[in-house]
Every structure is written in structure tokens, then in C-alpha cells.
């Protein structure tokens, strides 16, 4: 019995641009060979249970003892994880439905088979790992839905690298950080989301290039929100401890999506004050300063398929931008040469008696808002439940925004400045390429 190789898979390349996958076997390896579709033979080796020698590309046929593995590719492999916006409960567009599959962009579907990728790529109702349905009571994907940012991410990575891409979907809607607790991984795929993710990682050679993460909405509640940074930091560190199996490439890169909006949230719920939604956004925006080789991309002003799930155009924007951010983490020099930018960040903040000037980095072209900039507000310190929220006028110019206090504030020092305060802020600022400006605040005035 050999584990770590599957027909149809994308094998993660090593630093020498040949496959580097880790196998487990209870039998002695007596013969191994590999051929491409033209019949060319490659010098593959298995040394200390590590398979190497198959170059980037494919498809290949691999022979190990009496086992035959067909339709093998070598490139980059990505873990997709988080909650429902990564799972993809938005409605598929006509373009999504008629998308012509590319054999070089592949998915390890949740029933444990590899094939060319096409949405929906998450279907927890067919998952081998029973944690999804038996323990967490997962919601099957509705007909006509299933637009995840994972496939647009892989398409863009293929455009940027020119090599095969594989995604391993692991997300589950509605999950909080506690559901992803690494300390439960011993429960395996039937009892733990982390265990399920780790199992899927191992059966595909225990080597991936990075993680694409989209989660946080369900932690934007009173009990969980203050623990989000600590829990997320621990989760990412354990992901890297268990999946960062190629140390010569550095720690496992992670790109996350900042949470967007909740359009139809239940007003009046005491556990959902307006403060906690922007609190999670700001934690996510600041994470790259605290966690190495991590970047955050925004989704704040995009459109929705329902009350909380991004629609198809928005998911395509998020996936593409996440790939650009990831490319900057794995190939920074090439990204610079190609003009590929990471997530938009705050460069500087200047305050005076009349207002605040915020300058940004990594915007692709000038910032813009039509007809006027929306989304800035002053919120009275420690008094966000009172409804004392004052909208601010703002003026956009190139890579900076000038926000004016206005005349309504009794004492400006009693207020904090936010962009995107609350669960459903009316925000509309992007760069010329359509990338969303991240939510931020509080800025202490």
C-alpha cells in the first residue's frame, strides 16, 4: 500500500523544479519509472520515502512496483481553507457554468479524486472527511451556487507562473477559530477540520506551496473577537509546523482575505455590536506586521450574491488579487519585474486640526470613488452602542485620501476615525484595477 500519490494529482515541485512528494509505504520499492505522453522516460528516484525527478509539467504516467498512476502533473499546490466565502455559496455566473476546464489547473475534490478544476470545488456533502456533515452539520451546496475564490486564484497563479496548479479545498461555512483548533488534529478527518485538512495534505504527498485563507465573519462576535489575533496566530503557526515541509523555501506563505460586509445582519443582537466587525478587519489588516510571509487582501466594497456571500465578479477579483499577493510572497523579484502588486496597505497617516490625510501603498493606479468617497466615519470612543457615528466627507487624490472632521464633533479627541465601520458600511473606494481599499480603524484622533 502506497500513500502520498494519486492519479490525476498535481505534485508539488521542490526548489529544483522537479517533484518533491513524501510517500508512505508498507512494501519494499523494487521498481519506479515515469513517462510523458510522448513516451520519454525520466530518471525518477525514491530516497528515504521522498519521490523526486519528475520535472514541472505533465501529464505523466508513474509506475511504482505494480501500481500505475496516470495523468500526473508537477507544479504548485495550494490549501484553500476558511468558512463559507471560501467554500463558495455565491451564485455561479453563466461564465462560471460554461467555463472550459484547463487540465493544467486541477482540484482535489472533497470525495478524494483529482480532476480539472471547475466550480463548485467545495462540496462538503460528498466529503470523505465526515467532520463536515456528521459533526458540523454542513449545508450541501445549492444548485446553481458554488463560486469560490479558489479557482480564480489558481487561474491567476497559472497565468503568473506558467506551470500546473492544484488546489486542495478544505473550507467549511460558518466556522469560528475554535472549529479549526490544531489541538484537535488527533481526531482526524472525522472529528476535526484541522485533522481533515492535514489528512488531505498527507495523502497528496505532504508538500504544498502555500495557504489561501478566508475566514473571520463568525468570530466577529463579543465572546470570540478579542481572541481572534491570538487564535489565528496559533493556527497559522501550527499549519506551518505541520505543512511547512520544505524549509529551504522558507516558512509556508499565507494570503488571507479581510472580511467584507454582512448585509442582512440581525439588528439589536447584543452580541453583535457594530464594533466587532471592523475590529476583525483591522486585526487582519495589521497581521502582516506581526506574522512573517503573510499578506491580506480586501473585499470591503464588493457586491454580494446574498446577505453575506460575495457574488461571482467579486470572487474573481478577490481570487486574482490574492494570487498577486501570493506571487509577491513566493517570487518577490519576479513580481517586481512584472509590476504585480501585493495587498493595498496604509503608508502614512497625518493628522491636523481640520482632518486626516491617509496615504496608501500597492494601489494599482490611482484610488477612485464614484461619485464621491463613502465609508469614512467618526465614532465616539467606547460609545459605539450609542449610535454616535458621524459620517465624514473625504476627497480622493492619486494614492491619498483627505478626510475632513466637519462641524458636528463636540471634541475631536473623543472620537476615532474608521473606514468601513460596522457590519454593512457604505464604502466605495477602489484603485483603477478594481481592487478594494481595505477597511481600517480605529485611528486615534
Write out the chain's pLDDT in tens, 445 residues.
899 999 999 999 999 999 999 999 988 999 999 999 999 999 999 999 999 999 999 999 999 999 999 999 999 999 999 999 999 999 999 999 999 999 999 999 999 999 999 999 999 999 999 999 999 999 999 999 999 999 999 999 999 999 999 999 999 999 999 999 999 999 999 999 999 999 999 999 999 999 999 999 999 988 899 999 999 999 999 999 999 855 567 899 999 999 999 998 877 676 666 789 999 999 999 999 999 999 999 999 999 999 999 999 999 999 999 999 999 999 999 999 999 999 999 999 999 989 999 999 999 999 999 999 999 999 988 665 555 788 999 999 999 999 998 777 778 888 999 999 999 999 999 999 999 999 999 999 8
CA neighbor of 130 nearest in space, from 190, 187, 200: 190
Residue 106 near residue 117, CB atoms below 8 Å: yes
What's the pLDDT score for residue 26?
Answer: 86
Residue 445 near residue 416, CB atoms below 8 Å: yes
What's the pLDDT score for residue 43?
Answer: 93
Q: What is the rounded distance in angstroms from the CA atom of residue 92 to the CA atom of residue 392? A: 36
Record the cell numbers describing residue 189, joined without a space: 478527518
Residue 36 near residue 235, CB atoms below 8 Å: no
User: Angle at Cα 78 formed by Cα 335 and Cα 81, nearest 5°?
Assistant: 115
Record the cell numbers describing residue 233, joined without a space: 496566530
What's the pLDDT score for residue 403?
Answer: 96
Q: Residue 140, SS3?
A: coil
Domains in the chain and their CATH numbers?
A: 74-338 (3.40.50.1110), 345-444 (2.60.40)
Helix (H) or strand (E) holding 319: helix 312-330
pTM of the shown model: 0.97
What's the pLDDT score for residue 114?
Answer: 98
CA neighbor of 117 nearest in space, from 143, 89, 149: 149
Residue ranges in 68-224 assigned as alpha helix (H): 84-87, 94-97, 150-161, 193-202
What's the pLDDT score for residue 233?
Answer: 97
What's the pLDDT score for residue 247?
Answer: 52
What's the pLDDT score for residue 384?
Answer: 55
Q: What are phi and psi of 19, to 5 degrees?
A: -60, 145
CA atoms within 13 A on the CB side of 60: 28
> DSSP secondary structure string, 365-394?
S-EE-SSS---EEEEETT-GGGT-EEE-EE
Residue 86 near residue 149, CB atoms below 8 Å: yes
What's the pLDDT score for residue 244?
Answer: 84
Q: What is the rounded distance in angstroms from the CA atom of residue 251 to the CA atom of residue 101? A: 32
What's the pLDDT score for residue 72?
Answer: 98
418 CB-near residues (< 8 Å, 6+ apart): 278, 376, 377, 378, 379, 439, 440, 441, 442, 443
Q: What is the rounded distance in angstroms from the CA atom of residue 63 to the CA atom of residue 269? A: 59
Amino acid at each position: 500500500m502506497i500513500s502520498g500519490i494519486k492519479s490525476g494529482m498535481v505534485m508539488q515541485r521542490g526548489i529544483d523544479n522537479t517533484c518533491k512528494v513524501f510517500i508512505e509505504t508498507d512494501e519494499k520499492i523494487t521498481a519506479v519509472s515515469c513517462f510523458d505522453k510522448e513516451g520519454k522516460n525520466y530518471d525518477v528516484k525514491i530516497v528515504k520515502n521522498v519521490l523526486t525527478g519528475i520535472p514541472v509539467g505533465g501529464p505523466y504516467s508513474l509506475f511504482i512496483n505494480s501500481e500505475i498512476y496516470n495523468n500526473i502533473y508537477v507544479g504548485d499546490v495550494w490549501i484553500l481553507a476558511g468558512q463559507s466565502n471560501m467554500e463558495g455559496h455565491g451564485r455561479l455566473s453563466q461564465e462560471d457554468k460554461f467555463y472550459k476546464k484547463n487540465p493544467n489547473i486541477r482540484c482535489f475534490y472533497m470525495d478524494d479524486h483529482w480532476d480539472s478544476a471547475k466550480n463548485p470545488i467545495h462540496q462538503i456533502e460528498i466529503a470523505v472527511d465526515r467532520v463536515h456533515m456528521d459533526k458540523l452539520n454542513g449545508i450541501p451546496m445549492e444548485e446553481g451556487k458554488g463560486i469560490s475564490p479558489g479557482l480564480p486564484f489558481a487561474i491567476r497563479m497559472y497565468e503568473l507562473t506558467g506551470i500546473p496548479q492544484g488546489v486542495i479545498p478544505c473550507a467549511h461555512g460558518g466556522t469560528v477559530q475554535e472549529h479549526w483548533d490544531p489541538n484537535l488534529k488527533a481526531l482526524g478527518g472525522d472529528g476535526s477540520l484541522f485533522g481533515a485538512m492535514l489528512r488531505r495534505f498527507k495523502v497528496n504527498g505532504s508538500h504544498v506551496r502555500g495557504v489561501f485563507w478566508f475566514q473571520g465573519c463568525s468570530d466577529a462576535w463579543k465572546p470570540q473577537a478579542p481572541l481572534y489575533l491570538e487564535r489565528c496566530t496559533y493556527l497559522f503557526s501550527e499549519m506551518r509546523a505541520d505543512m511547512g515541509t520544505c524549509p529551504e523555501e522558507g516558512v509556508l506563505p499565507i494570503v488571507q482575505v479581510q472580511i467584507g460586509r454582512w448585509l442582512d445582519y440581525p439588528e439589536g443582537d447584543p452580541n453583535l455590536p457594530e464594533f466587532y466587525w471592523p475590529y476583525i478587519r483591522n486585526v487582519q489588516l495589521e497581521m502582516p506586521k506581526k506574522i512573517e510571509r503573510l499578506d491580506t487582501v480586501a473585499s470591503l466594497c464588493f457586491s454580494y450574491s446574498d446577505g453575506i456571500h460575495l457574488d461571482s465578479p467579486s470572487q474573481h477579483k478577490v481570487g486574482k488579487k490574492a494570487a498577486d499577493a501570493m506571487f509577491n510572497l513566493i517570487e518577490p523579484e519576479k513580481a517586481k519585474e512584472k509590476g504585480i502588486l501585493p495587498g493595498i496597505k496604509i503608508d502614512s497617516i497625518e493628522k491636523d486640526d481640520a482632518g486626516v490625510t491617509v496615504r496608501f501603498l500597492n494601489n494599482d493606479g490611482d484610488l477612485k470613488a464614484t461619485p464621491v468617497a463613502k465609508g469614512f466615519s467618526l465614532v465616539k470612543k467606547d460609545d459605539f452602542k450609542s449610535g454616535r457615528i458621524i459620517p465624514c466627507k473625504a476627497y480622493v487624490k492619486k494614492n491619498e485620501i483627505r478626510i475632513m472632521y466637519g462641524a458636528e464633533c463636540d471634541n475631536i479627541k473623543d472620537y476615532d476615525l474608521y473606514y468601513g465601520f460596522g457590519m454593512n458600511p457604505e464604502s466605495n473606494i477602489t484603485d483603477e484595477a478594481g481592487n478594494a481599499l481595505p477597511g481600517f480603524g480605529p485611528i486615534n484622533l
